Amino acid sequence: MSGQLTVERDGAVMTVLLDNPPYNFLTAAMMHQLHVILDGLDDEPEVRVVVLTSAVPDVFISHYDVSEILGGVESLPVQLSPRVAGAAIRALGAASHVPGAKAGLSAAGGQGVLDLREYHAVTHIMRSSDKIFIAAINGRAMGGGCELALACDIRLMADGPYEIGQPEILVGLIPGGGGTQMLPRTVGTTRALELCLDGRPLSPTEAAEIGLITRAVPPSELMSETMRLAERLARR
């Protein structure tokens, strides 16, 4: 057990369950815990497949916790233009490698940017690792949840009354967790642009048709199908 994450091992397959009921919002604490777990995979060569799923029924990840996003914005000492924001992100990125700098950046209102950088660091590990990552999407996967699934190599989703997509535009944002990069690589530029500009969520069937997920499976078979696939790929 690790805070809001549970880690299980079965041979060469590691399963990480995200557990922040009732809505399973992603938080900075959860991302930090996941970062620590994934960093530790270098010391576990026997792990060949990582399954990422949720311990909350009918919800994979609702979204990143919007209250944390708003809190980070409100803590900034000035209102940032896009140009200034870009410069600040680059400066914070460089400074974050300096010992003791993270505490200073947080105190200066840079915690939100540091949290976003950690999210990016986690998805970078997932995309570049020699482990295979499988998302077992057991319910709603919106915003940051969709992006976390996109960082996986394979995505299986329960074929129920669930939705997946990038709704950030509906609250005046753009996908900040890598969606604007990973979506075009997954479904093509035209589809990705439509999803980001419109904000309309997709059903599992629609998501499978455009390649956003690998396939939709009956809800009762999601985990058994995922584990069969994980065990098979671990032997490759």
CA neighbor of 15 nearest in space, from 56, 48, 42: 48
Pick 82 or 232 by higher pLDDT: 232
Q: What is the pLDDT of residue 75?
A: 47
Query: Is the entire prediction scored with pTM above 0.95?
Result: no
Three-state DSSP string of 112-151: HHHHHHHHHHHHHHHHHCCCEEEEEECEEEECHHHHHHHC
| Beta strands 58-61 and 13-18, pairing class | unpaired
pLDDT digits (tens, 9 = 90+) for 24-72: 999 999 999 999 999 999 889 999 999 999 999 999 999 877 666 555 4
Q: Identify the band that residue 114 occupies on the pLDDT scale cut at 50, 70 and 90.
A: low
Instruction: State the catalytic residue, choosing from 168, 209, 221, 231.
Output: 168
CA neighbor of 143 nearest in space, from 180, 191, 194, 112: 180
Q: DSSP string spanning 31-65? A: HHHHHHHHHGGGG-TT--EEEEEESSTEEEE--B-
Structure tokens at 113: 């940017």
- Which whole-number Å values give the CA distances from 73 to 27, 70, 79, 116, in the listed order? 15, 5, 9, 12
Lowest mean pLDDT among 39-53, 55-69, 133-147, 157-171: 55-69
pLDDT digits (tens, 9 = 90+) for 190-223: 999 999 999 999 999 999 999 999 999 999 999 9
Percent of the chain exceeding pLDDT 70 equals 78
Query: Would you say 202 and 213 are in contact if contact means Cβ atoms under 8 Å apart?
Result: no
- 147 flagged as catalytic: yes
Q: What is the pLDDT of residue 113?
A: 59
Instruction: State the catalytic residue, choosing from 147, 163, 194, 209.
Output: 147
What is the spatial distance between Cα 236 and Cα 230, in angstroms, rounded to a whole number? Answer: 10
Amino acid (one-letter) located at 44: E
What is the spatial distance between Cα 7 and Cα 53, in angstroms, rounded to a whole number? Answer: 10
Q: What is the pLDDT of residue 102?
A: 47
